[in-house]
Structure 1
């Protein structure tokens, strides 16, 4: 991995990305702690840090209701943070460079390569241009549709503002909403559980934001190329299977419980939204704490899997999940190679997926154990909160507002590590080593 030199410091791209998020979080914390940001007196530094981290890491967990606890200034600070956090501060910095008609340097191209999970810098600037254009078009379309719908419930100016805020929030998988000002604190989208416009728009925005910009670009180019890359096929098929299976299971588990009051169409829409939103969306039309424990555990599994690489979402990623399933299937069949869509995958890919999953499991288990000590809550609620923070999902069973100071710090760390990725953070923190000049003798170990 290349070292980039800045002011005499030799930093790898993962270190620069991690530092960039830290700078955004610090700036957001300072702005949110100002009296102008709070509607009810000054926000404490720990709450400002929590909200800034949640917005920058596009999580959506909130210790302060966004609609009632923050002023318009504070809400716009959050909006800027989750726009930068969702698209990536490197991508947004590139936008400024392109607007100023400056040349993109090699250092900047290497950073873009790392931030977009690309294997080379070839065509990276063109990809970033497309990311910015697609994101702007999708968010404007979503804002227009939502604003027109909200016109039925509020004045025009407020409807437009709500449309813009929620479109950007949902597309970036941030999960923040302002409806506490309309329907009561932390009410979310529960009043729109049977509204087809809000549900379908939210589902599309979450899906498009969660499949990743590389896949989005690939799908748009399908007419010309008449084929999709292996990465796009795996992301799309795995995402669709998880959505369909998650919706079916949610419907089956909740049809005679939380879904009972809804009409048939509302039941279907709620099932699909609740199957999609755990994988980083953060908005919900059903009160999570009212769900069955089995449904809550299903959501935990979906939050842990997360969205696609190079997207606005978190989790271990759908490609990691698909690769692990394929590896298990290959081993059961007694095959040497791991194959997906008639493509053999390298052992490096398999090792990376295993490392990512084990690091993530270790992180979540450690955080859950610590939170179960610091917080007075059921174990399932504690685990739900930990996985939600790591997967940058933003869903909660009501524990977020009850967190102790230590609990808030633990969740802040989880949100940061979930957004940057445990593997990326490990690469950022590891010491630089040269190539090993020797290999140990091969050993044999009994497994199973």
Structure 2
């Protein structure tokens, strides 16, 4: 037995360690080691710090094939489910699509397989339809314009994250859910505790508990005094017996967290990328074509990447793909930032090109677990990217790129601050 264990450890040590760092001075690109993995083939192995050796899927075609395969599971409780975040804690975030104790922390339905996943997801699809999002566009436009007014009336230079990129999606998700915006400091502080890698498991668990308690009380209030918002819809489903109070609270935590944290980082990182590509920024600023703006949003979603750890799955059965056999019980890390940089699908993939047709990207995943809130994210980004640079045409960095504090310490990538002037 000892010889077998030693042989397994020796084999694991031959694989590169995951996660991998980005290159200094290349904050918008995937880690160089990801490209080396792709050169080896569409499926390769890496070693996590717990000694496990999941498959890494780096090419677009195999990612789409596997994400549509019902023989893969998103349940973290399955043996073999890859947990690259365990060097930091035993819990993950909504953006990571993996949670160490999903029921306890309220991110349950994204960590479920069908049919239970489909049952719970159906409860919240209505508010996120494209039609509903388009109906919200005027309200989002007013939020964006009001924040730009405040920005222009405030100090120059300023931190765009604090003044604009975080308040906008926070205000939007509060309006959609029916959460009082005056409580935004509370949920932003707890969201930060969840996604910061330096947080202890106890701090992360306590942040989940506080958010769950807060939203549970709001759901109870909506039960007695409903409004025209998502929390009122969830409260009605609890009253009708379609959801338990815990299920509704779990959904509310997920929607509040995911609805502002990832979009805020995308607005900031996208703005920084455009400022570093002034020719592309000029095209966006000068265009009045909504179709071009929508296409530009898709290209920025393809080119940039917010979640750090990829899409994670575990095989329930043996699966043959790309000449490899993934055995039942083996984990997979599907790196969607590499799928989005696959030159066979997106020629010149490492170049930001707002005229590119990037609609096939896998930023929002693919298959039954693709992002529920993508219509909201797209609409918000379209409003922001079509408004901010027109209203502040002289917007520029107030410091060098090397001085920008990137979120290498977080499960959700972006910038801690973005000093700008105009």
What is the TM-score when the length of structure 2 is the normalising length? Answer: 0.29
* Higher RCO (CA < 8 A, seq sep 6+): 2
